[in-house]
Structure 1
Amino acid sequence: MSEEWRKLGFDTKAVKLGYKPEVSNDYSLVPPIGLSTTFEQDDPSSHRGFLYVRQNNPSRQILEKGFALLEDAKYGLCFSSGTSAISAVVQLLNTGEHIVSSEIIFGGTYRYFDRIAGRVGISTTYVDATDPKNVERALQDNTRLVFLETPSNPLLSLCDIAKIAEIVHRRKDILFAVDNTFLTPYFQRPLELGADISVYSVTKYLNGHTDVCMGAMCFNDDSLYPRLRYLQNNAGIGSSPFDCYLVHRSLKTLPVRLRRHMKSGLKVAQFLESHPLVTKVLCPWLPSHPQHELAKRQTSGYTSMISFYVKGGLQETSALLKKFRVINMAGSLGGVESLAEIPSVLSHATYPAEERVRMGITDNLVRLSVGLEDPDDIIADLDLSLRSAVSLLYGERRIYSITACFCTVALRAKARPITLKIFMLLFDNATS
């Protein structure tokens, strides 16, 4: 990446992505889609940079340079999914070697570590990585990878990347990778904090339109590039030209989308904190989060991921999700649409039940990805759906009381916080 591009602001980098129109035949401002699966050669034993679409293609090459630019990294690589990007990192290890991972991670990552890598002799120790000392204690002579997810999915706990990087890099034989899917390089910079590799499910915020499945990684180590490029090609896990075209388009609006996601997400999180049918809200950018100070120190903002606990159990929580009209009950996250799921029965269902309970992934936990709809509509949908669930929570005592009506009126009239709190306390007492 040239100094010319490095000095630009993030918003400019996102729009330009290092692409210059003169590299295309017709000087188009939008990179053309290179759909060809094979490329003509000058000589039987050599090529001009592209040989076969699985190995590399013009659309992927343009996007990889764009990702590297956004992260101020030397290298960027694109994969067919976030899981395939993680699998490439793990395939750098050999049989008999060891991973230390944060214990709260995406269910698909857990399944890959536990049931695929574990089957070929790569073991994993899961630790509460919110305390860096736990990572240090878990390191073994054969440890070759430390893998963190921060914020974690779905509990939104944080790991101190800089402190853990300091611990890991006391040894030269361990790679340190951070899954930065929830924040993207716009809000969190793992490489600058000491990570060797940042990994992404591009499917989520980076693409942001719920129409592409892709993964990516960025790094600076020259020795890693040929090894990871080899895996990308020969394991057949590279991304398609058309998907690369779509993501290149989406990245141009990344900063604008994320600023709106953050504003709406915080407004929704603050509403949920005050609701009598919600017992706890998890959002690192709220002062109530136990790691709020770390969030302010380590990140420059937050996206729109919120997890919250509903009064009741699986029956009541399921009823809540079925009542939504604006919010979609669906897996995934980071799109323009608001999406909600129950992690214990969907994204994290493969965790052993006792482990889920121990960590706090209980049946009354909802993971909410706040989209780009009007936040007042999202709040109204949450409010009405939560109150509708009261009939299940309290049996036949269908408590749609005057107090609840006052709460709704106060919310929509943007009442002063103290007034709203009084109404909420009255409603809580009425339903207890």
Structure 2
Amino acid sequence: MPSTLIVNARLVNEGREFDADLRIEDGRIAKIDSQIAARPEDRVIEAGGRWLLPGMIDDQVHFREPGLTHKGDIASESAAAVAGGLTSFMDMPNTNPPTLDSAALEAKYALAKGRAWGNYGFYHGASNDNLEAIRALDPKAAPGIKVFMGASTGNMLVDNPETLDAIFREAPTPIITHCEDTPTIDANLAAFQAKYGDALTAEMHPDIRSREACIKSTRLAISLARKHGTRLHVLHISTADELALFDPGPLFQADGRRKRITAETCVHFLRFDRGDYARLGNFIKCNPAIKDASDREALIKALAEGGTIDVLATDHAPHTLEEKMKPYAQAPSGLPLVQYALVAALELVHEGKLSRAQVVKKFAHAPAQLFDVSQRGFLREGYWADLVLVEDEPFTVRREDVLSKCGWSPFEGTTFRSRVAATWVNGRMVWNGEQLLGTPNGQRLEFDR
């Protein structure tokens, strides 16, 4: 691979913004300096003062393969991801078949090899009857074990208290939880159906999948983690109420001790609220539900103030337009988000609510640290050259530009004030701001455990 020299860039890394050049050799960052002399063999990229960031690491995606590939697949969704500056992803186990043992896990890694545009890790799933498979999991084989403590597909709702306790006690990796209390949701749904019959609408979604359901389940997960000393990561926090349940301190203490219980929120909870259901309906139906404007503002404030929310992610979950156009009760939950997640987060920078360094910390540094990802997530010499070049140039999201297989975006018609000008994965430019380049070269993520 020829060497690349990016000159006159504005780097954002580890809390700093600074002007520098960066050289890529053999897929890695070979040098970062204020000025690097070009060599005859270098391919020189003039950054012209644009922002150079570490590639984003998305700790929560549903790329739908195997079994649900009419909605999306590893190739199509990772293409959309790198176009959006997301260079590594961690994919969920609720596929068909679900990823409930090491054989299914390795089968997914085989599916990704040579087809994934970004680097990839796959979660091992939990069910009421796969405790032995969880005990046998190699900690280096997966970013974590996903436990659905709310509704899920197939056999993946873990609602047996003894099994749940045993998973928290014996998990060899971090546990990742979807926290919504199913009995609460079922009772809410029954009450709405009794009152409205078949006339349910998306505006009712945040009341059916209520904040109380989130709070109750999150409390249970945290209590189990504290009981057993488990490393717990709670996904897609959607309410202001849940924030008080988490430690506001940093991911690592000064003495190197790691926070054991962490939290994530998602970009759609920062850009949408209850008032958007009237306009977008099922197109923003997701689980947990997008809730009130006050929740959105509290989540943004938590990101800005420090460590209560450790990670920013997408929960990218594509469904076809035909599926989303069904009546509320039949329409599936989930949004396609990877292609515009970074620019949506950067919009908060333009609004003065976050800094670029905070976006990079939550979207790149923290997921790398939390999941022990080897040599990614930072602009450091010797690390893999997963990079994204961002320019402050406005553009409007159009349906015809969406790369996800589902072919739509909840951000259609939105004008963002930044755009992704280029993305590098393992040292090779795979997106030039307009189109994909070359062939997929994503690698299996390695976990230093």
Name the larger-Rg structure: 1
Q: Which has the higher helix share?
A: 1
TM-score, with structure 2 as normaliser: 0.28
Q: Which has the higher strand share?
A: 2
TM-score, with structure 1 as normaliser: 0.28
Whose relative contact order is higher, 1 or 2, with alpha carbons under 8 Å and at least 6 apart?
2
